[in-house]
Chain A
Amino acid sequence: GEDVEQSLFLSVREGDSSVINCTYTDSSSTYLYWYKQEPGAGLQLLTYIFSNMDMKQDQRLTVLLNKKDKHLSLRIADTQTGDSAIYFCAESRGSSASKIIFGSGTRLSIRP
């Protein structure tokens, strides 16, 4: 199974909030990331959170980190059609924390 786990699909109505959840395994991860991948496009770093933080907000994005439960979530407020994509949770590993391990990805679809 995946070391970093996510649900595969999420469908939300346009204008609602989307919450994508992720669980990870390495408690020593320095950074946790959320990446976005649109069809036919490369990876786009959406946001990241340092492991000693609980929350980070960046415009419509809110990241919550529960280190005790190794749970990470991404909330997208006022979801738009342009938010349709696959969202990958990822954790940093290795002595330099530069190795990134990805979750399975959550495909977010927006319905009108």
Chain B
Amino acid sequence: GAVVSQHPSWVICKSGTSVKIECRSLDFQATTMFWYRQFPKQSLMLMATSNEGSKATYEQGVEKDKFLINHASLTLSTLTVTSAHPEDSSFYICSAPGGSLREQYFGPGTRLTVT
């Protein structure tokens, strides 16, 4: 089946630094990818839709200047958390839709800890 990978799987960074998280579709092309954030014991909150060849669309309340998204190719989207703060510590998950509407492939997630 289709696979979505994320890199890194976990990262620790200091406050004020930026962190880039990659999301790749390994055996299929994805013109659209989605980024979610999951706080401990909470649900997945959709942050933004990454669109290949155009700007990302952000959900209400998500700062686009803080969470930079670049859909560099048909198999790669990156999320950069800029000037990270401890409150940005979370589990970030990406997903990509498959060939049919019911298929949505999720990455394994990236755990970000900001100290």
A residues adjacent to B (C-beta < 8 A)? 2, 30-31, 33, 42-43, 45, 48, 50, 88, 92, 94, 96-105
For A94, the chain B residues whose CB sits under 8 A away are 49
B43 in contact with A42 (CB, 8 Å): no
Residues of chain B from 97 to 115 with CB closer than 8 A to chain A in the complex = 97, 101-102, 104, 106-109
- Taking CB atoms, residues of chain B closer than 8 Å to A31 are 101-102
* B108→A101 contact, CB < 8 A: no
A96 x B97 contact (CB < 8 A): yes
Query: Considering only CB atoms, which chain B residue lies closest to A47 in the complex?
Result: B102
- Tell me if A92 and B46 are in contact (CB < 8 A): no
* B47 CB to nearest chain A CB (Å): 11
Q: Determine whether the beta carbon of A98 is less than 8 Å from that of B107.
A: no
- The answer to whether the Cβ of B44 comes within 8 Å of any Cβ in the partner chain is yes
Q: Given A42-B93, A92-B101, A96-B97, answer yes or no on A2-B108 (Cβ-Cβ < 8 Å).
A: no
How far, in angstroms, from A43 to B96 measured CA to CA in the complex? Answer: 13
- The CA-CA distance from A94 to B48 in the complex, in Å, is 13
8 A Cβ contacts from B42-83 to A: 42-46, 49
Q: Shortest Cβ distance from A77 into chain B, in angstroms?
A: 23
Interchain residue pairs A-B with the least CB separation, the first 5: A98-B97, A42-B108, A43-B106, A102-B44, A104-B43
B40: min CB distance to chain A, Å: 11
Q: Assess the B49–A42 pair: CB atoms within 8 A.
A: no
Q: Are B93 and A99 in contact (CB under 8 A)?
A: no
B106 and A42 within 8 A (CB)? yes
Q: How far is the CA of A102 from the CA of B32 in the complex (A)?
A: 18
B95 sits at the interface (CB 8 A): yes
Sampled A-B contacts (24; CB under 8 Å): A42-B106, A42-B107, A42-B109, A43-B44, A43-B93, A45-B104, A48-B102, A88-B43, A88-B44, A96-B32, A96-B97, A96-B101, A98-B34, A98-B97, A98-B104, A99-B34, A100-B34, A100-B104, A101-B46, A102-B36, A102-B44, A102-B45, A102-B46, A105-B43
In the complex, the answer to whether B44 meets A97 with C-beta atoms within 8 Å is no
